[in-house]
């Protein structure tokens, strides 16, 4: 063992090592509800979840200026990672004659078995967690919330549409043309007069449902009904519950005869049915997420998927309640994959208000989802049913909702005509349609989720709270989020939005004058219209700046005229001292007692000499304490492994050193996740750290 100097040795011995040492054999986490059900002696379906792919790296390495290439890169990375990491487990299952179904949108296998099988699988080193696949009922508008006005045609724009400012965007010539909206719901009644001409599978004379429709309901999911009006594995778009037709109508609907119910009447739609008359399961939701990433023909398989046919934005007016057996992490990888692929995921906050912390179901709880509450366009009041933040179910205290949109007395299409419903389900498609309008007006925004969210948030009409409610006051807050949707104002903001991304194997930062851009990876900020922004690239230690691409080129100062949404990428290459990884001393090894200990000492704020004392490995290429400290300073942003906004010795540092000691699964993160962490799953953290030691 290498020498550990002075007081650091006392600290590591007295405090850190008890956190690092783990039992020789550890088991993956088994969802408590599933464990209880298995103890009752019956077999159940459950997911065997493995470590996720690094979809963010795949997206960064793709040509982000072409959306389909980015989507394809993410899909391919997911499929390759799943094929490689699932192979040993599949071989094990095959030898025992155990049937399984493979997913790649979440790296998991769905199997059926009893407690013995679950516990055996949980002991495998490659298994991160075991989760159930319960049948889940998603409450839709009740009879009191459905206002039957099916025979009444309103020769005017719906009030909720007007309240968002959409008509003024139409007046500028932008109606969502060129944008595809995906709906994951109870299906869609595709021949509805307000929807048929918007369906991507309809050419005006005939329909082709291949790549445009998928049904993930292959058998009875609803335990209360053995018959479904659409049947199972329907080859034709169908809606068994009204809900999906209603939400799609609010996004794109217009019958050309006075029923102007949709936000983006120039957009097209595709759809996936994920529920059996309101009953779904994690497997049906994941199948739709997987299909949206690369749609495939009716009756086909994911291997036939075409990422170029993926929708630009998806409506998700449903939830997977934790209280009914869905794990908080079950759908997270799927939402993150869609975001990395450039597909914007719009999600209903839920209808469990006015209780605080009632945004508590996936996928609304996730950072990667754009979560929408509901208000009344008639009187401007927040809907009593609209779920409130903060998100506490996963321990993140994440601020939600992101925005609120009209969700009270929303008239839209249903198979029988038109009806008005209440719910955050009705607010969500307003925002999906708003994204379609923005992306048709500013094509450079397509796939840029961060910039789009920033534009919508910056343009929202904030509703400050004078006193603390649900632990928040002022604006944004846990009731209104950043405020009410205004797509016309968002278009003005988006028209002066500059987005910067970092490319290449090196490290560096980009800043702007005037201030706004200050990032080492990706950053978006609005600037004054008709102004200019000057960008400066500063390479990190062991890196060099090699040039700009996008709205400006060359290797000198980058000056961008702000006229329309602009994107710029800065490329940083590794020099002789790179590439920059967790191999701090550049000796070709990743060692807990050299590189790991330097990281912990650095995060404790120790001076360069103490960081390097006794921690430089044999054959090191970098030995100078000042250079080691500089390398660590450059690495600091990446050391925030739990993504809570800061790199800390007793959280991030401990997790890194545990990883270098060879720990995986729950022992990697126990008692070492910081407050406000956005990355908490041991598998995700393990994959993240592994990417820093290629």
Domain made up of 146-491: CATH architecture:
3-Layer(aba) Sandwich (3.40)
Local confidence band at 27 (pLDDT 50, 70, 90 cut-offs) = low
Local confidence band at 681 (pLDDT 50, 70, 90 cut-offs) = confident
* pLDDT (average), residues 57-84: 78
For residue 520, what are its two tokens? Answer: 């080492």
Q: Are 171 and 260 in contact (CB under 8 A)?
A: no
- Residue 290, C-beta contacts closer than 8 angstroms, at least 6 positions apart: 103, 104, 105, 302, 334
Helix 487-494 vs helix 449-459: crossing angle, to nearest 10: 120
Q: How far is CA 155 from CA 158, 254, 257, in A?
A: 9, 11, 7
Mean pLDDT of the chain: 88
Provide the β-strand partners of residue 573: 544
The continuous run of DSSP H or E covering 14 comes out as none
What integer pLDDT is reported at residue 182 of this predicted model?
98
Local confidence band at 284 (pLDDT 50, 70, 90 cut-offs) = very high
Burial of residue 138 (number of CB atoms within 10 Å: 0-12, 13-18, 19+): buried
Provide the β-strand partners of residue 560: 533
For residue 135, what are its two tokens? Answer: 């049948």
Q: Which of 21-30, 137-146, 255-264, 529-538 has the lowest mean pLDDT?
A: 21-30
The phi-psi region of residue 662 (left if phi > 0; otherwise alpha if psi is between -120 and 50; otherwise beta) is left
Q: How many CB atoms lie within 10 A of CB 406?
A: 25
DSSP letter for each residue of 132-150: E---EE-----GGG-EE-T
Query: Does the bond joining 428 to the residue before it have cis omega, within 30 degrees of 0?
Result: no
For residues 165 and 644, give the distance between their C-alpha atoms in angstroms, rounded to a whole number. 35
- Residue 525, C-beta contacts closer than 8 angstroms, at least 6 positions apart: 454, 497, 498, 512, 516, 517
For residue 512, what are its two tokens? Answer: 């702007």
Please state, for a pLDDT cut of 90, what percent of the chain lies above it: 61
**Is the alpha carbon torsion for 53, 58, 60, 65 positive or negative?**
negative
Report residue 420: phi and psi, to 5°: -110, 130
What integer pLDDT is reported at residue 529 of this predicted model?
81
DSSP letter for each residue of 586-638: -SS---IIIIIHHHHHHHTT--HHHHHTTTPPTT-S---HHHHHHHHHHHGGG
CATH of region 495-574: 2.60.40.1140
Q: Is the pLDDT of residue 9 over 50?
A: no
- Residue 457, C-beta contacts closer than 8 angstroms, at least 6 positions apart: 402, 403, 482
For residue 518, what are its two tokens? Answer: 């200050």
pTM for the complete prediction? 0.79
Q: Are 666 and 685 in contact (CB under 8 A)?
A: no
Residue ranges of E strands in 422-517: 465-469, 472-474, 497-503, 508-513
Half-sphere exposure of 675 (CA within 13 A, CB side): 0
Question: Among 204, 348, 371, 362, which Cα is nearest to 285's?
Answer: 362
For residues 634 and 542, give the distance between their C-alpha atoms in angstroms, rounded to a whole number. 9
Helix (H, G, I), strand (E, B) or coil at 90: helix
Q: Which of 199-208, 485-494, 516-525 has the lowest mean pLDDT?
A: 516-525
Helix 424-441 vs helix 487-494: crossing angle, to nearest 10: 30
Class of domain 31-133: alpha beta
For residue 490, what are its two tokens? Answer: 């968002």
Domain map (residue ranges) of the chain: 31-133, 146-491, 495-574, 582-690
Q: How many CB atoms lie within 10 A of CB 296?
A: 18
Q: Is the pLDDT of residue 138 over 60?
A: yes
What integer pLDDT is reported at residue 11 of this predicted model?
33
Q: Is the pLDDT of residue 406 over 80?
A: yes
For residues 609 and 5, give the distance between their C-alpha atoms in angstroms, rounded to a whole number. 11
Question: Among 295, 580, 350, 311, which Cα is nearest to 432's?
Answer: 311
Helix (H, G, I), strand (E, B) or coil at 262: coil
For residues 606 and 613, give the distance between their C-alpha atoms in angstroms, rounded to a whole number. 11
Q: How far is CA 534 from CA 458, 538, 570, in A?
A: 22, 13, 13
pLDDT tens by residue, 218-236: 999 999 988 999 999 999 9
What integer pLDDT is reported at residue 309 of this predicted model?
97
For residues 577 and 543, give the distance between their C-alpha atoms in angstroms, rounded to a whole number. 8
What integer pLDDT is reported at residue 576 of this predicted model?
55
For residue 349, what are its two tokens? Answer: 């906050």
**Which contacts qualify for 511-515: CB closer than 8 Å, 24 or more apart?**
511/535, 511/536, 511/538, 512/536
Q: Are 621 and 577 in contact (CB under 8 A)?
A: yes
Local confidence band at 479 (pLDDT 50, 70, 90 cut-offs) = very high
For residue 26, what are its two tokens? Answer: 């550890």
> Per mean pLDDT, which of 190-199, 601-610, 651-660 is the most reliable?
190-199
Helix (H, G, I), strand (E, B) or coil at 158: coil
For residue 65, what are its two tokens? Answer: 């200026």
100-118: burial string, b at 16+ Cβ within 10 Å, e else: eeebbbbbbbbbebebebb
Same fold, 146-491 and 495-574: no
For residues 497 and 501, give the distance between their C-alpha atoms in angstroms, rounded to a whole number. 13
Looking up tokens 């009270």 gives 408
- Residue 143, C-beta contacts closer than 8 angstroms, at least 6 positions apart: none
For residues 299 and 23, give the distance between their C-alpha atoms in angstroms, rounded to a whole number. 47
Local confidence band at 360 (pLDDT 50, 70, 90 cut-offs) = very high
Question: Among 673, 677, 670, which Cα is nearest to 645's?
Answer: 677
pLDDT tens by residue, 485-506: 999 999 999 888 888 888 777 7
For residue 315, what are its two tokens? Answer: 């409506």
Q: Is the pLDDT of residue 5 over 70?
A: no
Q: Is the pLDDT of residue 527 over 90?
A: no
For residues 171 and 174, give the distance between their C-alpha atoms in angstroms, rounded to a whole number. 7
């Amino acid at each position: 063992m290498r020498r550990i100097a002075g007081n650091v040795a006392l600290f590591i011995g007295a405090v850190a090592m008890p956190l690092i040492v783990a039992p020789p054999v550890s088991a993956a986490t088994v969802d408590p509800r599933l464990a209880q059900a298995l103890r009752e002696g019956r077999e159940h379906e459950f997911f065997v979840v493995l470590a996720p792919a690094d979809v963010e790296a795949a997206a960064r390495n793709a040509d982000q200026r072409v959306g389909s290439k980015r989507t394809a890169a993410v899909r391919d990375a997911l499929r390759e990672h799943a094929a490689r990491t699932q192979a040993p487990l599949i071989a094990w299952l095959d030898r025992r004659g155990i049937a399984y179904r493979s997913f790649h949108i979440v790296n998991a296998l769905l199997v059926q078995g009893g407690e013995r099988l679950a516990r055996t699988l949980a002991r495998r080193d490659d298994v991160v967690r075991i989760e159930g696949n319960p049948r889940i009922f998603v409450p839709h508008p009740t009879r009191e919330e459905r206002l039957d006005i099916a025979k009444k045609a309103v020769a005017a724009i719906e009030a909720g549409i007007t309240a968002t400012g959409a008509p003024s965007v139409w007046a500028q010539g932008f109606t969502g043309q060129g944008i595809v909206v995906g709906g994951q719901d109870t299906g869609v009644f595709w021949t509805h007069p307000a929807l048929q001409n918007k369906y991507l599978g309809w050419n005006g004379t005939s329909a082709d449902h291949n790549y445009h429709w998928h049904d993930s309901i292959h058998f009875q999911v609803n335990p209360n009904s053995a018959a479904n009006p659409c049947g199972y594995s329907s080859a034709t778009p169908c809606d068994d519950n009204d809900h999906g037709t209603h939400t799609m109508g609010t996004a794109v609907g217009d019958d050309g005869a006075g029923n102007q119910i949709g936000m983006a009447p120039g957009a097209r739609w595709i759809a996936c049915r994920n529920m059996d008359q309101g009953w779904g399961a994690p497997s049906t939701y994941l199948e739709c997420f997987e299909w949206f990433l690369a749609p495939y023909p009716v009756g086909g398989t994911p291997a036939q998927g075409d990422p170029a046919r993926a929708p630009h934005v998806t409506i998700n007016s449903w939830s997977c309640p934790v209280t009914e057996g869905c794990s908080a992490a079950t759908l997270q990888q799927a939402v993150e994959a869609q975001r990395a692929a450039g597909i914007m995921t719009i999600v209903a906050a839920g209808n469990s208000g006015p209780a605080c912390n009632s945004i508590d179901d996936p996928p609304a709880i996730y950072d990667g989802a754009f979560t929408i509450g509901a208000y009344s366009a008639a009187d401007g009041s927040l809907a009593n049913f609209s779920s409130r933040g903060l998100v506490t179910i996963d321990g993140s205290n994440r601020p939600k909702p992101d925005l609120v949109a009209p969700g009270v007395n929303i008239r839209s299409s249903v198979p029988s005509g038109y009806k008005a419903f209440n719910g955050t389900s009705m607010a969500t498609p307003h925002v999906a349609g708003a994204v379609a309008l923005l992306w048709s007006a500013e094509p450079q925004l397509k796939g840029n989720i961060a910039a789009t969210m920033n534009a919508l948030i910056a343009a929202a009409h904030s509703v400050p709270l004078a006193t603390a409610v649900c632990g928040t006051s002022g604006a944004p807050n846990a009731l209104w989020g950043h405020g009410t949707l205004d797509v016309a104002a968002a278009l003005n903001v988006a028209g002066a939005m500059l987005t910067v991304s970092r490319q290449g194997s090196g490290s560096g930062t980009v800043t702007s004058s005037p201030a706004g851009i200050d990032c080492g990876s990706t950053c978006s900020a609005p600037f004054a219209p008709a102004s200019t922004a000057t960008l400066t690239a500063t390479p990190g230690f062991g890196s060099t700046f090699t040039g700009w691409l996008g709205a400006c080129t060359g290797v000198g100062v980058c000056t961008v005229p702000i006229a329309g949404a602009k994107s710029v990428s800065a490329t940083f290459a590794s020099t002789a001292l790179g590439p920059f990884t967790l191999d701090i001393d550049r000796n070709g090894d990743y060692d807990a007692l050299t590189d790991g200990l330097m990281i912990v000492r650095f995060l404790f704020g120790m001076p360069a000499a103490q960081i390097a004392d006794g921690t430089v490995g044999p054959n090191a290429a970098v030995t100078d304490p000042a250079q080691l400290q500089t390398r660590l300073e450059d690495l600091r942003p990446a050391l925030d492994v739990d993504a809570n906004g800061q790199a800390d010795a007793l959280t991030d540092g401990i997790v890194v050193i545990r990883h270098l000691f060879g720990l995986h699964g729950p022992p990697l993160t126990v008692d070492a996740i910081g407050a406000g962490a956005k990355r908490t799953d041991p598998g995700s953290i393990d994959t993240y750290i592994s990417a820093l030691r290629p």
